[in-house]
Amino acid sequence: MNRWLYGSGGWTGLLGLVVGVGSFGWSLAAEPVEFSSPGFPPSRMDSEGRLVEDWGLVAVRLQGQGLTEGSVKVEAVQLDGCIPAAQATADRGPVRMILTAYRSPIFPAGVDVLTVRLEEKAHQPIHVTLALDLPPQVKVDLTTARIENRIVLSVPLETLALQAVRDWGYCNETTAMPGWAKPEGPADPAFANIRAGMGGIPILYRFKVEPNAQALVVLGLCESHYDRRGIRPILCEVEGARPQWVDPIAQWGRHKPGALLFHARDLDADGQIEIAVRPVPGAPDRNPILNVIWVFPPGKPPDLKKLIAGQLSSSAKYYIDVGGQNDQCFYQVGKLQYPIRLSADEVKELTFWVACPGASAPVPETTTWTPASLRQAARQVCQAWQKK
C-alpha cells in the first residue's frame, strides 16, 4: 500500500491511544490519522479530531443546549473510493458531528479541505454554535485567517454565509479609502469615500429585507482618479434588477457624482438583497469602486438630483457611506463562529480550507476553486496515481 494512501504508521506508533476531553466535548480519543496527496508531506488529524498542520492546530468546537459529551472515533477513510482522508465522528446527543479532512492537490502544493457535517438525530429543531479555534498568533479577517502573510485558513463564501449577520454591510475583503474622491458641486458627503476591489475583486454588499421583498437601491459613484473614458468601466448588479454597465467618466465626468437606480427584489427569498460592483473584463483598470448606497422602500423612486446633493439621505432605509467611518461588515468579523439552526433530521455541512505544509490557503474572493472542484481535483489525481 502506498504510504500517502494510508500514511498513519509513523504518527500512530508515536502517539498511540490518547484519553482525554478534547475540543469535540468527548472523552475517549483514538489514533491519529495522516493524509496527503501524491508526492507531498502529510497533514494529520490527531486523536482528538484536531487538524495538525505545520503552522498549528485547528480545533472545532460545538456548543449548544442539550448537547452531551460523547466518544470520538478517528479513522482513515477513502472518499470517492480513492481519496485518502481522516474522519472524526462524535455523537453529541441530539447532534452528530463528523469532521472530514483530505488534501486537494491544487497547484503548487495543495490545500487541506476540512468539512464539518452536522446531523440532527433527535427529530427536533436545535440551535447550536460551531466555532473554530486557532493558535493565538493567527489574525482572523472576514474570509481569511493569517499568520503574517501566510493564509493559514480561509472560509469559502458558502460557509461565510452561515456566519451571524448584521442588517447591512460589506461581505468580502475590499479596500476602504476614505477621502479618495473629490466630488464637485452639491454632493452627499459620502461621495468622498470609496471601497475599491484591488486586484479585480468585486465589491459585495448585502442588506436584510423580508423574504421576496422589493426595494429601490441607488448606487452612488464618483471617479476622481481618471479623466479619460474607457479606463474604469464597471458592472453594477443588484439582486432582482437589470444589471447596469457604467463608465462614470463617460456618463458624468471626473469628480462628478452620479447615481444609478435599481428596482431590486429578493429573488432567492433568503431575506437578503445582494449588491455587486464588478470589474469589466478587458478594461484597462479592473479595480471596481463604489461610493454610496441608498436603500428605499419600493414605490416612487427618489429624485436622484436631490439624492446626489445629500438632501434625501436621512429618509433612506439604509444609507451606506461606503468606505467611510460608519461602514461595517455584514458578518460578525474576528471570530470563526457560526450560529446554526438545524431542523428536525436536517444535515448541514460547512467547509474550510486549511493551509497544508509549505502552502497557503486560497483567497475565497479571487479563487475559482469551489468545494466541488477541489474534490474533483483530488479524485482525478488519486485515480491517475493509482493507475500508475
Partner 1 sequence: MCVQHNCSGCVSRRECLKLMGLSAVGAAAWTTSAAAAESEGPGPTDFVDPAKLRPKPEVRIMASFLEMPRPYWLGWPGTAYDLDARQKEYRELLAQSAQRLGIQVDLRPQPINNEADLTAWINQIKQQQPHATLVILQHFACWGWASMVAKQSGLPLIIFSPIGMAFTGHVAGPARTPGIYVVSSLDWHAVEDGLRMVRAKRMFEETRVLWIRGNQRNETVLERLGTKVRAIPRDTFNQEFDKQPVTEEVKELAAQLRKQAAKIVEPNEQDTLNSMRAYVTAKRLLARENANALSMDCLGMVEAKLVPTPPCGAWTLLQDQGLTAGCEADLWGAMSMMLTSYLLDRPGYMNDPVPETVHNTLIAAHCTSGTRIDGFDKPPAPYILRNHSESALGVAMQVLWPEGQPVTLVRFTGPNDLIVDTGKVVGNVQTPPAGGCRTSVEIAMDAVEDCRDVQGFHQVVTLGNHFRVLRGFCELYGIKLVRSPRFSTFI
Q: Does 375 bind partner 1 (CB under 8 A)?
A: no
Q: Does 40 bind partner 1 (CB under 8 A)?
A: yes
Residues 6+ apart with CB under 8 A from 18: 29, 30, 46, 47, 48
159 touches 369 (CB < 8 A):
no
Distance CA 146, CA 239 (A): 32
47 touches 17 (CB < 8 A):
yes
| Nearest Cα to Cα of residue 5 among 66, 71, 85, 65 | 85
Q: Which stretch binds partner 1 (CB under 8 A): 25-33, 75-83, 104-112, 203-211?
A: 104-112
> Of residues 14, 107, 149, 326, which one binds partner 1 by CB under 8 A?
107
> Of residues 2, 17, 27, 245, which one binds partner 1 by CB under 8 A?
245
Distance CA 45, CA 279 (A): 41
If binding means CB under 8 A, how many residues of this protein chain bind partner 1?
Answer: 37
Q: Does 387 bind partner 1 (CB under 8 A)?
A: yes
Q: Does 244 bind partner 1 (CB under 8 A)?
A: yes
Q: Which stretch binds partner 1 (CB under 8 A): 7-15, 48-56, 62-70, 99-107?
A: 99-107
Q: Which amino acid is at 87?
A: Q
Q: Does 372 bind partner 1 (CB under 8 A)?
A: no
| Nearest Cα to Cα of residue 43 among 18, 11, 73 | 11
Q: Does 286 bind partner 1 (CB under 8 A)?
A: yes
Q: Does 369 bind partner 1 (CB under 8 A)?
A: yes
Distance CA 336, CA 267 (A): 28
| Nearest Cα to Cα of residue 191 among 236, 117, 256, 110 | 256
Q: Does 6 bind partner 1 (CB under 8 A)?
A: no
Nearer to partner 1, 107 or 299 (CB): 107
235 touches 214 (CB < 8 A):
no
> Of residues 106, 153, 216, 356, which one binds partner 1 by CB under 8 A?
106
Phi, psi of 210, rounded to the nearest 5 degrees: -70, 145
Nearer to partner 1, 181 or 289 (CB): 289
End-to-end CA distance of the chain: 13
Q: Does 197 bind partner 1 (CB under 8 A)?
A: no
Q: Which stretch binds partner 1 (CB under 8 A): 37-45, 124-132, 323-331, 342-350?
A: 37-45
Q: Does 332 bind partner 1 (CB under 8 A)?
A: no
Q: Name the DSSP letter for residue 248.
A: H
> Of residues 85, 249, 355, 377, which one binds partner 1 by CB under 8 A?
377
| Nearest Cα to Cα of residue 308 among 179, 169, 185, 225 | 185
- At closest approach, how far in Å is the CB of 38 from partner 1? 5
Residues near partner 1, by CB under 8 A:
37-40, 104-110, 200, 233, 235, 242-245, 278, 280-282, 284, 286, 362, 366-369, 373, 377, 380-381, 384-385, 387-388
